[in-house]
Amino acid sequence: MNQRLNSLPSHPFFFNSDKSKSVEWIIFEELSDYSKTLSAMEERAALIAKGEACECVWLLEHPPLYTAGTSAQGIDLVDSNRFPVFQTGRGGQYTYHGPGQRVAYIMLNLKQRQQDVRLFIAALEQWIISTLEHFNIKGERRNDRVGVWVERPEKPRLLGNQLAEDKIAAIGIRLKKWVSFHGISLNIYPELDHFNGIIACGVKDHGVTSFEDLGLLISMPEVDLALRAAFEDIFGPTIDAV
Q: What is the pLDDT of residues 92-146, one digit of tens each?
A: 889 999 999 999 999 999 999 999 999 999 999 999 999 999 999 999 998 877 7
Q: Per-residue confidence at 11, pLDDT binned at 50, 70, 90?
A: low
pLDDT in tens, 64-82: 999 998 888 888 898 888 9
Other C-beta atoms lying within 10 Å of the C-beta of residue 217:
9
Residues 82, 193 contacting (CB under 8 angstroms): no
At 10 the pLDDT is 63
Name the pairing type of β-strands 85-87 and 94-97: unpaired
Residue 47: HSE in the Cβ half-sphere, 13 Å Cα cutoff: 11
Active site members: 201
In whole angstroms, give the CA distance from residue 47 to residue 11: 29
Other C-beta atoms lying within 10 Å of the C-beta of residue 57:
21
The dihedral formed by the CA atoms of 211, 215, 216 and 220, expressed in degrees to the nearest 10: 40
Long-range contacts of 86-90 (CB under 8 A, 24+ apart): 86/34, 86/35, 86/38, 88/38, 88/172, 88/182, 89/174, 89/182, 90/172, 90/173, 90/174, 90/181, 90/182
Q: Per-residue confidence at 205, pLDDT binned at 50, 70, 90?
A: confident
Residue 147: HSE in the Cβ half-sphere, 13 Å Cα cutoff: 26
Residues 133, 74 contacting (CB under 8 angstroms): no
At 201 the pLDDT is 59
In this predicted structure, the answer to whether residue 157 has a pLDDT above a threshold of 70 is yes
In whole angstroms, give the CA distance from residue 30 to residue 68: 23
At 144 the pLDDT is 78
In whole angstroms, give the CA distance from residue 67 to residue 97: 8
At 129 the pLDDT is 96
